[in-house]
């Protein structure tokens, strides 16, 4: 049976369901980032309460600490972190390029030094698949080289073609591992069972990643190569790396028409609310980004009237909730003044509550998008949301000294 079912379309946008061994993902979907087997400042129960169907883990971080082998011995990533829903694991390619030291890239893979202790490791397409197999991922990503931005057309072409060769090897390794028998741990019963005992269509999935920089011909070539190999879903990589929203939307406009209509599309590393809305309108189904959790740790809240810096002195005596009608605990039980106090006092509850709020805000946005598409009112929803969101004067200039750029 087909894992992805499109339910309703509104223009290029669509709602659907992606079936996995650990549950159904409603699309369009936003995946909170649980890089090191945790969504920062959140318990799994709290993440679930925001409305998230799926979270993301990362091969690079988990292979270094605590290691995929240890997680496998302890029953797999779902049991290890007590998350009963689907998990998508990034292959680690982006982190190798951005975090690791002394990288040496070749046809086989990449040799790098850990950013933790300087130890030497090798990550190949086969090893990336093995790690994700040990973790028990519901959706595995192929190993790719994240093309830097900016890059010349020649640089982007060489990088993309290497990624396509790696994608072919990743798929072959994935299929070989699948033939040996994927086993998924049931977090509730603590019993291991073969995937065949679940729904017929609930087998581990693998997504390819389209690369090619900002060059239409290269993106088309990459999409064609991935379709020839055949994947359960198709990600658009190499964006959200400094190119800006206009360039990103242009890349989506000339890339998405070359991807299969009946498979999920995943825009990696994106993004802010207006980025997500624009991408959904172009036909993207899945997103992940550290923005809502990172912002929450640094006193930045996303609301229907824009982004607020809760450290700002204007909130010191403000008795109102952060956002009216928001179901999160931060808004139901606490005032802006209290949240302001927590951050000024460096209390850990502040980042916890604001992270909870931001993830709830993102999931409420995704629910609103799904409902709008279902009744074919996406354009109206998008206009109303963005009008309200952009009315509020941003407080970005008032970031705390410790806030990330």
Q: How far is CA 191 from CA 18, 82, 188, 209, 331, in A?
A: 24, 14, 8, 33, 39
Angle at 125 (CA atoms; ends 280, 181), nearest 5 degrees: 90
Within 10 Å of residue 239's Cβ, how many Cβ atoms?
Answer: 28
Residue 208, φ and ψ in degrees, nearest 5: -90, 165
Question: Which residue shows structure tokens 């993207």?
Answer: 284
135, 71 Cβ separation under 8 angstroms: yes
The verdict on whether 186 is a catalytic residue reads: no
Which of 256, 274, 277, 258 has the alpha carbon at shortest distance from 266? 256
Spatial separation of the C-alpha atoms in residues 361 and 369, rounded to whole Å: 12
Produce one character per residue of 91-118: b if its CB has 16 or more CB atoms within 10 Å, e if not: bbbbbbbebbeeeeeeeebbbbebeeee
The verdict on whether 90 is a catalytic residue reads: yes
Residues in the chain: 405
Marked catalytic residue, from 10, 90, 232, 285: 90
315, 340 Cβ separation under 8 angstroms: yes
Q: What is the CA radius of gyration of the chain?
A: 21
Marked catalytic residue, from 10, 275, 288, 304: 288
Omega before residue 150 within 30° of 0, cis: yes
Q: Is 137 helix (H, G, I), strand (E, B) or coil?
A: coil
Q: Is 237 left (phi over 0), alpha (psi -120 to 50) or beta?
A: beta
Q: Judging by DSSP bridges, how do beta strands 120-123 and 139-141 pair with one another?
A: unpaired
Spatial separation of the C-alpha atoms in residues 84 and 188, rounded to whole Å: 8
Catalytic positions are 90, 288
């Amino acid at each position: 049976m087909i894992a992805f079912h499109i339910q309703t379309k509104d223009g290029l946008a669509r709602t659907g369901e992606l079936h996995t061994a650990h549950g159904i993902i409603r699309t369009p979907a936003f995946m909170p980032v649980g890089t090191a087997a945790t969504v920062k400042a959140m318990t799994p129960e709290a993440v679930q309460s925001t409305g998230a169907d799926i979270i993301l883990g990362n091969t690079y971080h988990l292979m270094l600490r605590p290691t995929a082998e240890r997680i496998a011995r302890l029953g797999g990533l779902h049991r290890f972190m007590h998350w009963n829903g689907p998990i998508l694991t990034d292959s680690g390619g982006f982190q190798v390029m951005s975090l690791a030291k002394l990288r040496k890239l070749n046809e086989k893979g990449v040799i790098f030094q850990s950013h933790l202790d300087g130890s030497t490791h090798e990550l190949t397409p086969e090893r990336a698949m093995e790690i994700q197999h040990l973790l028990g991922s519901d959706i595995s990503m192929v190993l790719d080289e994240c093309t830097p931005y900016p890059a010349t057309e020649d640089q982007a072409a060489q990088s993309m073609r290497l990624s396509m060769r790696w994608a072919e090897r990743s798929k072959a390794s994935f299929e070989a591992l699948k033939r040996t028998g994927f086993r998924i741990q049931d977090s509730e019963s603590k019993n291991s069972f073969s995937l065949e005992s679940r729904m017929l269509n609930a087998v581990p999935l693998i997504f390819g990643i389209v690369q090619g920089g900002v060059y239409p011909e290269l993106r088309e070539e990459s999409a064609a190569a991935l379709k020839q190999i055949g994947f359960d879903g198709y990600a658009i990589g190499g964006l959200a790396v400094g190119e800006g929203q206009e360039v990103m939307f242009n890349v989506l406009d000339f890339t998405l028409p070359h991807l299969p209509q009946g498979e999920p599309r995943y825009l990696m590393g994106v993004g802010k609310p207006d980025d997500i809305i624009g991408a959904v309108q172009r036909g993207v189904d899945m997103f992940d980004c550290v923005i809502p959790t990172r912002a929450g740790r640094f006193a930045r809240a996303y609301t229907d009237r824009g982004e607020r810096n809760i450290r700002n002195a204007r909130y010191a005596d403000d008795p109102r909730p952060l956002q009216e009608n928001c179901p999160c605990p931060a808004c139901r039980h606490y005032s802006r003044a209290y949240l302001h106090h927590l951050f000024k006092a460096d209390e850990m509850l502040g980042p916890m509550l604001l992270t909870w709020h931001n993830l709830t805000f993102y999931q409420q946005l995704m629910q609103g998008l799904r409902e709008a598409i279902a009744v074919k009112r996406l354009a109206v929803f998008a206009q109303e949301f963005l009008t309200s969101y952009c009315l509020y004067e941003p407080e970005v200039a008032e970031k705390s000294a410790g806030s990330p750029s």
